[in-house]
Amino acid sequence: MEDYGKNVFAVIHVPVAKGHEKEIVELCVFFQKNWIITIHSVDSKLIHSVDARIRARGLSPLATTPSLDFAVDAYYPILDEVENRLEEIDQKATTTKTRVKRMENIVAIITTIERVRKRLMTPRRSLTPTRDMLGIAMRSVVPFVAEANLRSFRDVYDHSFQLLETIDNDRDRTSDMRDRYISLHSASTDNTIKVLTLVATIFLPLTLLAGIYGMNFSPGLLPAWEQ
């Protein structure tokens, strides 16, 4: 957010539905006391919401219910989907019937966990500056924002703070799950080594006896053509 005296320029990151996924796009906003200009590359429900309010009631109702709330709350479905995915991965660690099947899928599961971690970084990179921008607005240093309306911005700030905490908790959870699967893989490898060691221990005396008695012949036992 930049204050240019006569107007203010702000950049807001907004999740936008794109097929079955959500893409986070930049929404550029110029505003003054009596006008607002938005610059965006894709269609967004946030734009339609603000446009409908302005056409129906003018700019004043926007102060009581900031549209930033809509932009921030749009991150909740993304995190809900991520948490559901983490639940599925967590259940696979305990409900897989056979150890062999679990070990076959462990590489794919760890790859999925890393993909989820990267997906969590995208909203975090967007929400962190949004929270900082809201903090600036709450300090009453942004023109054209009345002090009486700061409570609404505090609510949006709290939502952004909660979302960032949820993202950090989910990232910690992915780290724990990754360590758990790596431990399962190490345990399976240890069990395999134990089995191979046991087999080698059983056959080692037999190999030793075969080596001793197979190489030492009595002259009387050699075939006639070799004597």
User: pLDDT tens digit string along 30-63?
Assistant: 888 788 888 888 777 777 777 777 777 665 544 4
pLDDT tens-place string over residues 127-175: 888 888 888 877 767 777 777 667 777 888 888 899 999 999 988 888 8
pLDDT of residue 218: 55
Q: Which two tokens stand for residue 1?
A: 């957010």
Distance CA 24, CA 26 (A): 7
Residues 13-34, mean pLDDT to the nearest whole number:
80
Cβ atoms within 10 Å, residue 124? 15
The residues that bridge with 39 in the sheet, in sequence order, are: 28
pLDDT of residue 165: 92
Residues 163-192, mean pLDDT to the nearest whole number:
78
Can you list the domains of the chain with their CATH numbers?
A: 63-207 (1.20.58.340)
From the list 158, 146, 199, 3, the residue with the least C-alpha distance to 68 is 158
